[in-house]
Structure formats: structure tokens, C-alpha cells
A and B are shown apart, each in its own frame.
Chain A
Amino acid sequence: MTAGLATDAPEPPPTGAAPEQVLVNGRREWLTRYIRRRLLILIPLAFIVTVAAFGLTHVAPGGPVAALLQDQAASPETIQAIKEKYRLNDSVPQQYWTWISGVAHGDFGRSIITNDSVLNEIGRRMDVTLTLNVAGIAIAILLGIPLGVLAALRRGRALDRLLVTVSVLFMSTPAFALGLFALYIFGFKLGMFPLYGPGSWVISRVHHLALPALVLGLHGMGFEMRLTRAAMLEQFEQDYIAFARARGLSSVHVTVRYALRNALIPVVTAAGLLFTGLLTGSVLVETVFSLPGLGTLLVNSVIAGDFPMIQGLLVIIAVWVILINIAVDVLYAFIDPRVGFAKATS
């Protein structure tokens, strides 16, 4: 065993503790250390991300001056004034130092397009994106997992074929096409939903975001459903399932407590991927439904060459992806005790 792993070993259990309690304590301690260690790794990772984000935006052709002028002619004096305002005459390392010093103090700079602070711009869009994504993921999971289990239970039957067809349909239809279709039917023809905007107060926001969340959710549902179905079928082939049935356990018990729980690892991984992907991947849905989200902000910033905004978004999205991965890893340990147990006792 390596020295590094030796330091991860749990403290010796108190004398007289029951063996089960020792395991629980060991697992909890491992989890705490694991989360702490992953969070510490965030610091060098975030630093690498800042260097990459800054470097990439400076290497990319097309300068911030053109982005700011947006097809307007400018005298050399105006161009010089813009360069001075955004310190573009400094060397690249100096510019990075100025920027990273600000980031360390929570100042990501000002957008060259809106002149507002980057954090203000991101903060304003965060709630729309988070609401949309949390609702979308919830729909994907709430529908995808039960329907995946159902399809597995009815493998080869008409219901299974129907569900697989539906899942393929939702997976293969681009989200924006699904969005336009939903907008036309539910927004225009039936008048059930507003056709644009995020709404301004709680009920209004729920009303405005329901349709885009459903579109995102149904798109993700196909993915979740197929994964769940495949994982469940694999579990149904295992001997322990046959043994559990032979013990006379109810089918619901065997399906939910035994098979589904063991099938959840790939499903949770997929949910994590959905969470990281939807954060920026929802841009087309945001565009169709005219929603001011982070995806639209990132794409618009890239198109406009708004480099302080791109840098800020890249850093925040990278940290977000890392945090989601940590959360998924921790969830593994909760779903499958063997994950934590193996580490705790190693």
C-alpha cells in the first residue's frame, strides 16, 4: 500500500464499537476526506482553467476593438482610446495578472459589449438557466427512469417497442426542432403557454419556463430511459435476481430494491453528464423561447468577441463541471455502499 493511501485509512474504531458501526464511521470519514480532497484539487484546476481561458481568448483572431466597434469606422484616436480603456496596450502577462488579481477579489471585469460587470451579467441569467436545467433534469429523470424500468420489464413486448421508439424519437430530434414544434402546438395553436420570455414573478416564471423545461426534459428523457432499460436488463440477467425471486420476494421489491439500485450507477453518471451538457447545450432552446440564459450569453459573447465575458463564463462553467463531477462521485458512494466501503477499508 502506498503512503498516500495509508493516510486515507480511517481512524481506529473506538473499543467496543459494533463492526457495522465501524464500517459506517469509516465510510463517513472517507466521504468527508474525499470531498475535501476533491475541493482542494479545484484550486489548481481553476488556475489552469483561468490560464487556458485567458490564453484562448487572446490567441483567437479578431480583436476586442472590432467587437466593440461593431461595424463602425473609427479613427486611430478612437481605437487608441478603446485600447487604453481596456488596457490592451499592456503585455499579455500583464493583462493576465490584472485580470486574475481581479478574479481573486471576485471582480471578473466588465463586458466590452454591455459595459456591465461580468458577474452581474452572469448572475442575472443564472436563475433562468438553473431553473430550466433543474426542471429539465427532473423531468428527464422522473420520466426516464420509470419508463426505462417499464420497458425492461416488458422487454420484447409492444409496450417496450413503443417506449424505445419514443425514446429514440426524443433523442434524435434536435431540441430546437422539438422546441419550435411545442411552441407552435402548445403556445400558438392551444395558447396554453407564452411564446417568449422568462416571466417576471414566481407563477409567471413557472408558466414561461414549463414548456422549454419540458422540451429539454423530453430530450434528456430518451437518453435516461435507454440507459436505464439497458442497465436493468443487465441486472435482470444476474444470478442474485433469480435468487431473490426464488426466495419469494415480491416483484416490486426485487425490481426496485435490488435491480434498480444496482442499475443506478450508469444512470446517475448520465444525469451528471446531462447537467453539465444542458448548462450550455440549452442555447438553442433558449433562443427559440427567447430566454436570457447562460448558454445564449456564452454563444453571443463568442460571436461578439466579448473576451472578458467569455473568460468569466469559461471559469464559472469549468468550476460548475468539476463540482457536478464531485457530486456524482459522492452519489456513487451513497447508491452503492461497496464504493465507499472499498475505499474506507483499503
Chain B
Amino acid sequence: MADLSTTVAGVVLPRPALLASGIWGESGASLAAAFRAGAGGVVTKSIGVKPREGYPNPTIEQFGEWGMLNAMGLPNPGIEEYPKEIGQALAAGARVVGSIFGGDADEFAALARKMEATGVHALELNLSCPHAKGYGSEIGQDPQVLAEVVKAVKKATTLPVWAKVTPNTQDTALLAEAAEKAGADAITAINTVRALAIDPVLRRPVLAHGFGGLSGPAIRPIGLACVWKIYERVRIPIVGVGGITTAQDAYEYILAGARALELGTAVATKGINVFREVHEGLGRLLDEAHFATIEEAVGQAHRK
């Protein structure tokens, strides 16, 4: 079978599909369980300076098999409490990517230093959460602000830095370019797509927060388009996220230009065994196409 290991900015991953940020990442035991179930690595919940409860429920709305809307509101135990959770994931042998979110470049830099001290293998900057005031995409939609954050984090840490960009903008690739220029080592694309659910009987938005972020199969073609465009415009590796549920989905993202992948919603809809399923199926697809490694397949849909 094809070699499924892949390298993202110096971090060697035994398998390409990682647990996406926000899923299962509040506790170290869950991160470890995801790794044991076959994830190639795990991205933590986005961690901020202080503990944060997130929004009241309802925080999610499920649309059949095709989509999931959420506005959790970045709940997290805060960077002071979180290291013990990361320790548990690292002890299980997992490759751990620490996700952080801040309100400005200084906050990001401070978080990056503290996250580095926990022993994680890379950092992912949440510049793309679509539903938290003052954070996420409110910062990451502006290429200049995004660049300031990336620069500050790069200065604060020696870890590889993955910039997670938002699709809720005119040109996601422009954000990726800004991140690359500012020193980012990889681009994670995409975060959820801003969306809304309304209850027709009650005549009100379903989620307590109103707007949320759409994930799941519905956004896969959007994610693919973003990865495609980013691949054409930056040189640093791309980690593809957005609606990946099957091995074929994963393969398509690789052909579009992703070197690694993240799965989130599929963990809820198909269970944690989805990692094994995707990896086994991906191995077969690579074999059939006579690719010996993932590397060989990356971006192959761009051939003229």
C-alpha cells in the first residue's frame, strides 16, 4: 500500500487526516482517544488567554447528512489550565497541533509562547472562527491584521505556524498569501462558512448566537475551491479541511493541493472510526492511481 505518512512544515505525520480544531479537543483523554482511533494527529480546541464558557445552547443545528451549523463561541479552559490536557495527548504519542485565538497580535504572541511550552509540535492560528466577536475571522479577514498576527507569533516561537484562514471573504487566497509573506509555515483551509438557521414555527434563529458556521459535506466544494486557489498562489504546504467524510473526499483535497487534512463534522456523523475508514480507502485510491506517496499526488488536479 502507498505510504500514508506526510510532512507539513517539518512535522512528520504518520497518517494525513487529523482531528480538526473544536472537535473532541476540550479534554486530553478525548484527544488521546482520537489518536488511538487512527487520527494522524490532533488539533486542540482553540485556546485563549482566559477560560471562556462559550455561548448558551442551542449551539448546534444538524441538517440531515449534509451539514452542521454551530456557534459554540470558542469555549475553552484557558491557556493556564489547558497544558495538563495536552500532556495527556502527548503521553499517548499523538502529534499535537495547538490551536490558539487572540484579540490582537500581542495576545496571539503571548499564547504562542505558552502553547510552545506545553510541548506541542506546531501551532494553528484561529484567524477564521466566523461567530466570535473580536476574534477569529473578524481579525483574519483583514490581510494586514492577519499578517501582523503571524509576524508576532513567528517572533514569539520557534514552532511551525499554521494559519487557518476563513472562506468568508472575497479572496481566501489573498489571506493565504499575506500569511505566507508574514512567515507562516503552512495554511489550514478552510474554517466554517458563516450561515444561519431559522425555525419557521417559532420564527426565530435556532442558535442562541444567531449566526453560526456551516460545516459538513455542504461546504466540501467550497473548501476544495479555496485549497485549489491557495495552491496556485502560495508555496507553503496546505492542510485541507471542510466536509471531508470519505476517502474520496480526502483524495480530492490532496489532488487540489492539500498535503494533510483535518476531519471534524464527520467524527460526529460517522463516529471516530472515520479516521481508519478514510485512511484505508485513501491507501487504496493512491494505489489504484499508482501514487507511492501522498506527496506524489498533491496538487495533481492542476496538471495542464
Whether both chains belong to one complex is answered with no
